Structure 1
Amino acid sequence: MTTTSANSEPEVNALSDEAKYQNLSDQFAEVFARIAEGAKDRELNRELPFKQVQWLKDAGFTKVRVPKKFGGEPISHEHLFRLLIDLSAADSNVSHLLRSHFSFVETISREPEEFQERWYARVLNGEIFGNAATERGGNALGTTNTKLVKRDSGWVLQGEKFYTTGSIFADWIVVMATTDGVEGRQYAIIPREARGVTILDDWDGFGQPLTGTGTAIFDDVSVDEENIIQRRPSSTLEPAFFQTCLLAVLVGIGRAARDEAAKIVASRTRTFNTGSGAAFKDDQLIQQLVGKLASNVFAAQSIVEAAARSLDAANDPSLKLTPEEGYLRAELAVQQAHVAVPKLILDATSELFDVTGASAVSTSKALDRYWRNARTVATHNPVAFKARSVGDFYINGTIPQGLNAIGDAPNSSASKETSN
């Protein structure tokens, strides 16, 4: 809103959304730049980014979604995901490992006020959260082999997880479990350093190697009853938020590949007799290739930002959406984004090599890390299932279902192979 008087210029009373984001970008630019400086060497040497996570905590990045009522200065979903894109361009491992943290901060908002007061205070104190939901195999779809067991002395947690992204860096781990006689699944929130907790850095994927996505073992870990909550898999924004985090990581990877392509072309002096004979930076065909790569990344970022705005809309009380309407608005937008974005970024990270020479495949340059990391992130949630879901909605009006379970298919023998 602006006001004017006869003797003055228009006076701005409130910052625009873009100005707010620019202020946030400026606030975290220095720490993101520091993180970017050693990203390649950390991947080459498998050096987990413990220091970099601490820098983000010290900078206040991990608390940007705490509501004002509980002492925070909350930013919108759109601004959060734009910042995660910026962080991912610096180091996609670091942005990815914070996915579980920011997702649990969203979970806090759906719990009773006493729970919110307790856990938002910890977020404001710089404490972060990891995830332990998925198992390697042997669990029926919709269940877990990890159990909460009630004993005379209280609740204990027993089981083993894999794909525990971020937990090795965390202060708390949010563990999905089941309880005999209780319908559905529960979250048990336990200290990372609790007795009986073992976290292994045994993730052997060819991408995102520094996210701590390995094994977690829980051997009779004591759990406070007040730290057990019932999971709500339907009609919530949790799946959409989780997926948008991954899409933001993908876009950041694409931006880093775009910048790398431009840097390589601008500085390259060698050329080929089969080309125009001009330096690569002046060759129109090379310029076109970089332009196409950059446009793919721009399109992907625009799609993710639009999906993030749908998450904001789903939470906007002025729109007066029912929970079901809010869920549909967010979930449908994010599923459509999930169908479109991975290919745009995978193409961009592959086309990086079309604007270089054979020297680009040197392992010391690690340019392949962009494709490897993007391919790894893109495998988390099969695109084919999302495309089918979107088509079913537009044809038949079927409400899309967010991803909330991974396990062995009903009426099938448990596979001996591990999968995710």
Structure 2
Amino acid sequence: MTTTAPPTFPAPALDRLPELTRALAACAATHDRDAELPLRDFELVHEAGLLTATVAARHGGPQAGLADTVRILRALGAGDPAVALVTAMTLFTHAAEARTPSWPAGPLGELLTESARRPVLVNALRVEPDLGSPVRGGLPATTARRAPDGGWRLTGRKIYSTGAYLLDWLLVWAVTDEDRPRVGSFLVRAGSPGLAVEPVWDHLGLRASRSDDVLFTDVPVPADHVAGLSHPGVDGGRDPVGGVWNSLGLAALYLGVADAARDWLLGFLHERTPSALGAPLATLARFQSAVGEIEVALAGANRLVAALAAAVDAGEPGAADEAGGAKVLATRAAIDAVQQAVALVGNHGLARRNPLERHLRNVLCARVHTPQDDSVLLTAGRTALDRSRPVA
């Protein structure tokens, strides 16, 4: 990993984060109820310069590092985590290209040119009905076969495809039908013949993310629209550094959700004045102590994620190896904080007229993202036991 710190992201853009958080939060309840995201939300993110924050410096972009990306995603997560999650997928894609160029010149030029003038959303589609997440091993059922024109024809189904109906580019992980199969990402433009989004997303949380199924039926892919095509390896085709960004970036996103829940709780405790008490709940020691527990847990988790992201940017030895554990700690802190807030206010916390109920549903989604807790803890446990094994 490089030991050179990335360029500093422009401070004025980061200074606008509170304003953007408020703008997204104003519409989040409507988007959750309707289970859809209008393009206007991403226009706001794009206008703030954040949707292209991780574009490589060699392409004229700011090439924000992981520390700045974590800060961005925490703020967006506090506003609308569905917008934040779709944005995260685009930021991670640009960051991967900045680290390790893999996109062919033609489609990369199209992506960068379009991204400069409007919001262009990108996501890597990897999860399948039978395979599940490829991080646990296996090859995709989605198949690319050679076409007479030298290109490819893509057939298969991807599930949990975040932002599916809004995506401009789909990076489809597939295996070739060659005698010696190869795997890679096939770059598919939205609207390609044979591509269909099936609106099956009906989820408890992050409803507006529209993580629908995408069906590919003999979809044409030009010969120069393939990235990272190689023979299968033992890592399932995943970028290990990308896994670090995923762990810390998404941890920050869900900490943003917990921040929003905490802020609502504080307002409620100041406003709620039971007649028998004659004073706001915020004046009671029991509530003050409970808020203190939430505050300390979130402050520690946020500090952990931010500091580790900065260490990764600086190439600190061993920092990347700690990302999975940090995700476990941070997402548990976020979930616990929101659950404590709900328990503290009782029925008010589960009433749909209040945002705390939505924050609870959204923060629970933190558990499903790769790497999942069981995988992280198994690896950490085995590593510790191997390290402590007696010398024969």
Q: TM-score band (shorter)?
A: 0.7 to 0.9
Q: CA deviation at 1:285?
A: 1.0
Matches of 2:64 and 2:131 in 1, distance apart? 40
Structure 1 residue 269 corresponds to structure 2 residue 273 = yes
Structure 1 residue 170 corresponds to structure 2 residue 163 = no
Matches of 1:48 and 1:364 in 2, distance apart? 20
Q: Secondary structure at the match of 2:208?
A: coil
| Letter of the 2:305 counterpart | V
Match 2:201 to one of 198, 203, 214 = 203
| Letter of the 1:355 counterpart | L
| Letter of the 1:128 counterpart | L
Contact kept, 8 Å, 1:131 with 1:167, in 2: the verdict is: no
Matches of 1:296 and 1:283 in 2, distance apart? 20
Residue equivalent to 1:124: 116
Q: 1:235-271, CA deviations, whole angstroms, 9 ceiling, x for partnerless residues?
A: 7301111222221211111101110110110111116
Residue equivalent to 1:386: 376
Where does structure 2 lack aligned partners over 5 or more consecutive residues?
1-5, 230-234
Q: Secondary structure at the match of 1:243?
A: helix
Contact kept, 8 Å, 1:253 with 1:374, in 2: the verdict is: yes
Q: 1:332-375, CA deviations, whole angstroms, 9 ceiling, x for partnerless residues?
A: 12111022112211110111123324333222224222121111
Q: How does 1:146-165 map to 2 (within 5 A)?
A: 146-153=142-149, 154-165=151-162
Residue equivalent to 1:133: 126
Matches of 2:347 and 2:127 in 1, distance apart? 40
Matches of 2:313 and 2:246 in 1, distance apart? 14
Q: 1:32-86, CA deviations, whole angstroms, 9 ceiling, x for partnerless residues?
A: 3211111122212324243212222233211111222211123221011111101
Deviates more, 1:87-96 or 1:221-230: 221-230
Match 1:395 to one of 380, 385, 390 = 385
| Letter of the 1:246 counterpart | L
Matches of 1:395 and 1:313 in 2, distance apart? 29
Q: TM-score, normalised by structure 1?
A: 0.80
Contact kept, 8 Å, 1:49 with 1:94, in 2: the verdict is: no
Q: 1:270-318, CA deviations, whole angstroms, 9 ceiling, x for partnerless residues?
A: 1667xxx74301111111111111222112211211231233123xxxx
Return closer, same or farther for 1:346/1:161 CA change in 2, 3 Å cut-off. Answer: same
Deviates more, 1:233-242 or 1:189-198: 233-242
Structure 1 residue 220 corresponds to structure 2 residue 218 = yes
| Letter of the 1:142 counterpart | G
Matches of 1:113 and 1:93 in 2, distance apart? 27
Q: TM-score, normalised by structure 2?
A: 0.85
Return closer, same or farther for 1:112/1:51 CA change in 2, 3 Å cut-off. Answer: closer
**How many pairs are equivalent?**
366
Contact kept, 8 Å, 2:131 with 2:138, in 1: the verdict is: no
Q: CA deviation at 1:105?
A: 0.9
Residue equivalent to 1:108: 97
Contact kept, 8 Å, 1:108 with 1:120, in 2: the verdict is: no
Residue equivalent to 2:3: none
Deviates more, 1:300-309 or 1:78-87: 300-309
Contact kept, 8 Å, 1:103 with 1:242, in 2: the verdict is: yes
Q: How does 1:19-418 map to 2 (within 5 A)?
A: 23-109=12-98, 110-111=100-101, 115=105, 118=109, 119-126=111-118, 127-137=120-130, 141-153=137-149, 154-181=151-178, 182-230=180-228, 233=237, 236-270=240-274, 278-314=279-315, 329-330=319-320, 332-381=321-370, 382-397=372-387
Contact kept, 8 Å, 1:247 with 1:338, in 2: the verdict is: yes
Return closer, same or farther for 1:113/1:346 CA change in 2, 3 Å cut-off. Answer: closer
Return closer, same or farther for 1:220/1:343 CA change in 2, 3 Å cut-off. Answer: same
Q: 1:201-234, CA deviations, whole angstroms, 9 ceiling, x for partnerless residues?
A: 3212211111120110111111112111126836
Contact kept, 8 Å, 2:205 with 2:365, in 1: the verdict is: yes
Matches of 2:306 and 2:194 in 1, distance apart? 41
Where does structure 1 lack aligned partners over 5 or more consecutive residues?
1-16, 320-324, 399-420
Percent identity of paired positions between Structure 1 and Structure 2: 20
| Letter of the 1:188 counterpart | F
Matches of 1:379 and 1:117 in 2, distance apart? 31
Contact kept, 8 Å, 1:165 with 1:214, in 2: the verdict is: yes
Contact kept, 8 Å, 1:289 with 1:354, in 2: the verdict is: no
Contact kept, 8 Å, 1:93 with 1:211, in 2: the verdict is: yes
Matches of 2:248 and 2:190 in 1, distance apart? 26
